[in-house]
Structure 1
Amino acid sequence: MDAITTLPVMSPAAGEIFLAASALALLMFGVFKGGKAQEATSWLAVAVMLIAGGLVVSYGGDTTPAFFGMFQGGSFAQFTKILILAGSMLAIIMSRSTFRRDSFERFEFPVLIVLSTLGMMMMVSANDMIALYVGLETQSLALYVVASIRRDTLRSTEAGLKYFVLGALSSCMLLYGSSMVYGFAGTTEFDKLATVFTGLAGTEPSVGLIIGLVFVICGLAFKVSAVPFHMWTPDVYEGAPTPVTALFAVAPKVAALALFLRVLLEPFGALVGEWQQIISLIAVLSMAIGAVGAIVQTNIKRLMAYSSIGHMGYALVGLAAANEAGVAGILVYLAIYLFMNVGTFACILAMRRQGRAVEGIHDLAGLSKSHPGMAAMILIFMFSMAGIPPLAGFFGKWFVFMAAVDAGLIALAVLGVLASVIGAFYYLRIVKIMYFDEAEEPLDNSVPGDLKIIMTVMAAVTLLFFIVPAPLVSSAKAAASALFAG
């Protein structure tokens, strides 16, 4: 009877429970099937994520705390989990044709993505510093392996090693900060931490608490590739297989930024005066380094790494605003960021010459003549990332900058606009290379059907978002209000 009565309490975690069980089942399936099990495992993993998405939609909005208060559902978690599942699912679909053409068969790959997605979803719903860390490490340990999945190549192995070493360092910083916060507050639960810190209103927080908060922010900043904890991003993006880079650029960033929002606005919401300046500085540095660092890049994956750093800086502007409009702006920005990046990486995965993948920016020369459709879609993605209206990327930046203005952070918004103008240079340079430079040797004409579909759909969403923005914007506002209500 007791077991039956506890089942509804677990319902907010239905998607995570299903993913955990499915990951074990997929692993067993791959082991027993052997040989070339990747194709079947990939499609099964996609089906698993679709079902998990259905469970999140059905049960994820339940705000009843689960697992002794360590797991919290709600509209905010529901919104971000849908984005995470979409990013992971699209990364698996895009990896199929690439690995098949490279004769690389590893059924573990989709299984590891399912496990990392489980960790990301746990992070978003964590209601305790310990649960936060467990989710973070579940995600990270799987991603360390995925980064070095091509064990026969030096670049992939090096990328995995760098990611592991620096990721372990960031985890240590997060744990150290959490221990200092626990030493001051006597609890690791978000709700109780919020109560303790609210009671400090009008008093000066202790130095130990501030140091702990700074270490927690440093650990989380690493996960979103924010400056000055961005040093791993260009090397890992370049060294990891391109389907893995596509995953890194989307789902983990959404999860880590959602976690950033929950940690700073829920347990540490009463200490906004202490962390707002730190986040503003990190945002400015990320926007600046992302804009300037990409200018000198010749490898398109490294350029996308610096682009990612810059975009996380723009999103952190919304966090620095520390208001409901800022959170809604970040959620809209993350959804648009997913569309733009998935589409761009689908185009990068299609770049081949004589059957071999190419990654140089100048390999795009003459693309408008040999692949006019793909060139047009890359143009849409680049203009959108630069924030040129009326493309979707413009609205993402508009929402976060307006939130900063409403919060009185006018200088931060102005710096964001200036960084966006500087960053437009390297996006426009890609367009110039595609349309005005002559190709020494054109890219292969054959583009897999799944990549064509993905890049076309993402380009259409990015281009036509301004016609029907209401569904996404209203959903983001509802999620943001739920976060502040909680």
Structure 2
Amino acid sequence: MTFTYQVQPGDWAGVAPLVVLAVLALVVMLVDLLLPHAGARSKHTGPANFAVLPIVALLGVVGAIVATSILFAYGPQKQVFNHMISADSGTLVAYLIILSAGLLGILLSPAYLKRLGVVHQGEYYALLLFAILGMMLLAGSTSFLTVFIGLEMFSLALYILCSFIEQRKASQEAGMKYFLLSSFASAFLLYGIALIYAATGSTTFNGVSQFVTKFVQDNHTHYIVTLTSSPTPVLLLVALGLLSVGFAFKVSAVPFQAWTPDVYQGAPAPVTAFMSVGTKVAALIAFVRIFGFVLLPIQSDWMPVIEALSILTIIAGNLMALAQSNIKRMLAYSSIAHGGYLLIGVVVGGTQGATAILLYLASYLFMNIGAFGVISVLERLDNSGYEADELRGLWYRRPVLAGLLAFFLLSLAGFPPMAGFWGKYYIFYTALVGGHPELLIIGIVASILGIYYYLRFTATMFMEPGDVVESGELARISVPAPLPTRTSRGTTSATAVAERPAETKVVATNPAGEKVVVETPAGKLVGFTWLGLGLAALGTLTAGIVLALWFSSLQQAAQLLFK
């Protein structure tokens, strides 16, 4: 058996955004080698300039956005590279959402990395670009082979990014937990892909769709009845179950959500902001493309399972968020609940479900990254700064940050006219017209319940004056649990970090007796952060309205997700 495929110019045009990102990721690593270091070159030093590398990374993301926009107007709008990747309008919308999440994640990073003294910038930004590349590859996949490649590409990058702050044990723990549990879920997904091939004889979405359609046409009785007469449907059903587990893990659906709060809390805040959106976009687009289009003819067999996952995720996510006093963990459980809302689109399937998912993700992008962006400004090296007690009276100390955080929380709660309201409106409307009023009722009740924990943190910032007075960017750096040092007599001692001027470095001694930088001033780099927060606020305010006006075009784009 021989296989010959001739690559056409249209194939390269269809993957132009991916090529741009791959090239710039390599350029980032080369620039990192050429930049002068702060001291003698070693594995513990990095470039003294914290602005050059994020600018190069931003050029890569902006270049990919430009390439994606050009594809909207002049692209092939078809599957390329022998039906492995799609370049249709729906995929390009997903690309733009992922690239926007990456853009905001990069903008939030420079000040954060310098303030925490993280010197390995080249690896950080290269891994971010490769994570974006993997997410786009997964979102554009029209073959199960590229689904697995894209999934592993962004997962491997995120494993390292989650554990990037080597001085923080919580960060190391987050990376290890994500690695172990994600690898377990990837094994389920890969085994499901193997069974899909065994059942249908194809790994492309077109081939699997043709098999399923023909099978349904040849069997007029219910699908389950044929299980005793043919081994193929058994393999297909088992494959669907395994695929559901793999995608449910990436979406943080209950009961596969256990990793989410710990990973979100321990990972660097800009990484959490990016992965909380990018991972959902990539996984859900692949999820709805496979289940909502390819396997739509046998919807009656997989829909009850996905609907149960959606209901459990909505209810459990909101209930667990109620008990949180740490806003980062609260947003993690909130993210789980939003994943449950998004699964409604998968349950409905087809163009309606895909349209609602795209609109919800485009709205969720800005408000969720904005909330984590504010947390990145407040977060300290010891992973503190965002407990309810530490947020008390934030309005009196840092009114701009408090106002922005409240704005993003209210949008996540679904208050009009912000993006969160429009996203929930269309996803619940889709549940109603798709014949699932029970999902509409459960979603509305859970959303009302969710308003409480968003407003609770807002009230804490505005209505409860705190005891701390801050002035300047890092006028007060508090380390509640100072890093201990062991003396020759076996006792421990620690130096408390108190009021310091904004330009002073904070140095502590780790258990090995080495001096480490705890936090350093970000200086002019805070301009990157404020630009990111400003774009997130602007998107939160306008995205829902703009997408509502563009709704018919969005429907057409969603319809092309499987053409």
| TM-score interval, normalised by the smaller of the two chains | over 0.9
Q: Find the partner of 1:101 among 107, 115, 122.
A: 115
- With 241-250 and 461-470 compared, the bigger mean Cα shift is at 461-470
Partner of 1:136: 151
Which of structures 1 and 2 has the bigger CA Rg?
Answer: 2
- With 69-78 and 349-358 compared, the bigger mean Cα shift is at 349-358
Asked if 1:283 is matched to 2:310, the reply is yes
For 1:118 and 1:428, locate their aligned partners in 2 and report how far apart those are by CA, in whole Å. 36
Relative to structure 1, the CA distance from residue 344 to residue 417 in structure 2 (aligned partners, 3 Å threshold; closer, same or farther) is same
- With 19-28 and 67-76 compared, the bigger mean Cα shift is at 19-28
1:404 counterpart SS class: helix
Relative to structure 1, the CA distance from residue 46 to residue 445 in structure 2 (aligned partners, 3 Å threshold; closer, same or farther) is same
Relative to structure 1, the CA distance from residue 466 to residue 105 in structure 2 (aligned partners, 3 Å threshold; closer, same or farther) is same
Partner of 1:162: 177
1:22 is displaced (CA, Å) by: 2.2
Q: Find the partner of 1:18 among 17, 20, 24.
A: 20
Asked if 1:55 is matched to 2:67, the reply is yes
Tell me if the contact between 1:115 and 1:138 (Cα under 8 Å) persists in the aligned partners.
yes
Partner of 2:97: 83
Q: Find the partner of 1:400 among 427, 432, 439.
A: 427
Tell me if the contact between 2:266 and 2:383 (Cα under 8 Å) persists in the aligned partners.
no
For 1:472 and 1:334, locate their aligned partners in 2 and report how far apart those are by CA, in whole Å. 15
Which is helix-richer, 1 or 2? 1
Q: Deviations over 1:78-119 (max 9, x none)?
A: 000011011012101101101111121212100001111111
Percent of matched pairs sharing the same residue? 33
Tell me if the contact between 1:351 and 1:443 (Cα under 8 Å) persists in the aligned partners.
no
Relative to structure 1, the CA distance from residue 294 to residue 438 in structure 2 (aligned partners, 3 Å threshold; closer, same or farther) is same
Partner of 2:197: 182
For 1:286 and 1:373, locate their aligned partners in 2 and report how far apart those are by CA, in whole Å. 33
Asked if 1:449 is matched to 2:527, the reply is yes
For 1:266 and 1:455, locate their aligned partners in 2 and report how far apart those are by CA, in whole Å. 36
Q: Deviations over 1:173-219 (max 9, x none)?
A: 00111111111111111001000001122342623211110100110
For 1:32 and 1:305, locate their aligned partners in 2 and report how far apart those are by CA, in whole Å. 38
1:438 is displaced (CA, Å) by: 1.9
For 1:19 and 1:471, locate their aligned partners in 2 and report how far apart those are by CA, in whole Å. 30
Alignment TM-score, normalising by the size of structure 1: 0.94
For 1:70 and 1:444, locate their aligned partners in 2 and report how far apart those are by CA, in whole Å. 54
Relative to structure 1, the CA distance from residue 272 to residue 427 in structure 2 (aligned partners, 3 Å threshold; closer, same or farther) is same
- Letter paired with 2:536: M
- With 205-214 and 76-85 compared, the bigger mean Cα shift is at 205-214
Tell me if the contact between 2:105 and 2:271 (Cα under 8 Å) persists in the aligned partners.
yes
1:342 is displaced (CA, Å) by: 1.6
Relative to structure 1, the CA distance from residue 439 to residue 354 in structure 2 (aligned partners, 3 Å threshold; closer, same or farther) is farther
Partner of 1:208: 235
2:79 counterpart SS class: coil
Tell me if the contact between 1:380 and 1:463 (Cα under 8 Å) persists in the aligned partners.
no
- Letter paired with 1:20: A
Q: Find the partner of 1:387 among 414, 422, 429.
A: 414
2:320 counterpart SS class: helix
For 2:77 and 2:546, locate their aligned partners in 1 and report how far apart those are by CA, in whole Å. 29
For 1:443 and 1:85, locate their aligned partners in 2 and report how far apart those are by CA, in whole Å. 35
1:82 counterpart SS class: helix
Partner of 2:320: 293
2:80 counterpart SS class: coil
- Letter paired with 2:212: F
C-alpha root-mean-square deviation of aligned residues, in Å?
A: 2.2
Asked if 1:479 is matched to 2:557, the reply is yes
Q: Deviations over 1:292-322 (max 9, x none)?
A: 1111112211111101000111111122112
For 2:316 and 2:68, locate their aligned partners in 1 and report how far apart those are by CA, in whole Å. 37
For 2:400 and 2:441, locate their aligned partners in 1 and report how far apart those are by CA, in whole Å. 36
Gap runs ≥5 in structure 1: none
Relative to structure 1, the CA distance from residue 354 to residue 28 in structure 2 (aligned partners, 3 Å threshold; closer, same or farther) is closer
Tell me if the contact between 2:116 and 2:381 (Cα under 8 Å) persists in the aligned partners.
no
Q: Find the partner of 2:441 among 414, 417, 420.
A: 414
Relative to structure 1, the CA distance from residue 444 to residue 257 in structure 2 (aligned partners, 3 Å threshold; closer, same or farther) is farther
1:449 is displaced (CA, Å) by: 2.9
Q: Find the partner of 2:248 among 209, 214, 221.
A: 221
